[in-house]
Amino acid sequence: MVQGGQITREELMALQQRQRLLQQQLRAQQQRQQQQQQMQQQQNAGSASPVPQNPNNQQINPQMNNNNANMNQQQQQQQQLRAQMMQQQQQQQQQQQQQQQQQQQRLQQQRQQAAAEAMAQQASIAQKQALQVQRQAQLAANRNMVNNQVNNNNNNNNNMTQNQQQQQQQQQKMYPMNSMNPMNPMNPINQVNPASKQ
């Protein structure tokens, strides 16, 4: 007998074998008792003064008492065996329930872990996407700044060229002869008289 009242398979097989032996012994005793009763009946039938059968005959009574004791012992053993088998079944059911609970707990932990990993992965993807959008926005801002600077430079150059052209056009209108242009160094106004230098 192991701890907790649970019997092993070897003990169960030994009890069953013992039960079979007791049943065989009981059948043999019953056969011997029937044979003795038949012989006594034949003897009583053959005698002139038949002796009445006594159920409490001294030759039969000890054997019957022994048979009853064996039957009671066998019934008690069968009851004990059934109780042990019931207890073993209950223990097996409890073990199965515990295993099912443990399996459900493991599955729940696996689901929670998978959900946490999925959320972490989604958060990482969202963070990478946000960084990518930020970089693209920064690149776009840099491109706009460079383009604006180039456009401003082009506009300034165009404005300077246009102003120069307009000034030249105005001077040509005011001074058709290039020699009369005050800005022209060949203009007599701009030439110094050598006598004035003295």
> What whole-number percentage of the chain has pLDDT above 70?
71
Residue 107 has pLDDT above 90, yes or no: yes
Say if 85 falls within a structural domain: no
pLDDT band for position 26 (50/70/90)?
Answer: confident
Beta-carbon contacts of 60 under 8 Å, excluding residues fewer than 6 positions away, are 33, 36, 37
Least confident piece of the model among 29-33, 58-62, 95-99, 125-129: 58-62
Question: Average pLDDT in the 164-192 region?
Answer: 64
- Give the closest residue to 71 by CA, choosing from 17, 25, 13: 25
Say if 12 falls within a structural domain: yes
Q: Which pLDDT belongs to residue 119?
A: 95
Q: Which pLDDT belongs to residue 2?
A: 45
Q: pLDDT higher for 77 or 67?
A: 77
Say if 73 falls within a structural domain: no
Domain count of the chain?
2
> What is the pTM (predicted TM-score) of this model?
0.35
Dump pLDDT digits (tens) for 42-62.
877 765 444 455 554 555 556
Say if 142 falls within a structural domain: yes
Say if 58 falls within a structural domain: no
The string of DSSP codes covering the chain is --GGGPPPHHHHHHHHHHHHHHHHHHHHHHHHHHHHHHHHHHHHHHSSSPPPP-TT-TTTHHHHHHHHHHHHHHHHHHHHHHHHHHHHHHHHHHHHHHHHHHHHHHHHHHHHHHHHHHHHHHHHHHHHHHHHHHHHHHHHHHHHHHHHHHHHHHHHHHHHHHHHHHHHHHHHHH-SSGGG-TT-TTSTTTSPPHHHH-
Q: Which two tokens stand for residue 112?
A: 């929670």
Q: Which two tokens stand for residue 134?
A: 């930020």
Average pLDDT, the chain: 79
CA gyration radius for the chain?
64
Question: Average pLDDT in the 20-40 region?
Answer: 87
Q: Which pLDDT belongs to residue 183?
A: 61
Domain limits for position 118 = 95-160
Say if 108 falls within a structural domain: yes
Residue 102 has pLDDT above 80, yes or no: yes
How far apart, in whole angstroms, are the C-alpha atoms of residue 4 and residue 135?
Answer: 70
Say if 53 falls within a structural domain: no
Question: Which pairs count as long-range contacts for 159-164, CB under 8 Å and 24+ apart, including other chains?
Answer: none
Residue 3 has pLDDT above 70, yes or no: no
Dump pLDDT digits (tens) for 128-160.
999 999 999 999 999 999 999 998 888 888 878
Residue 110 has pLDDT above 50, yes or no: yes
Say if 99 falls within a structural domain: yes
- Give the closest residue to 81 by CA, choosing from 20, 145, 163: 20
> What whole-number percentage of the chain has pLDDT above 90?
28
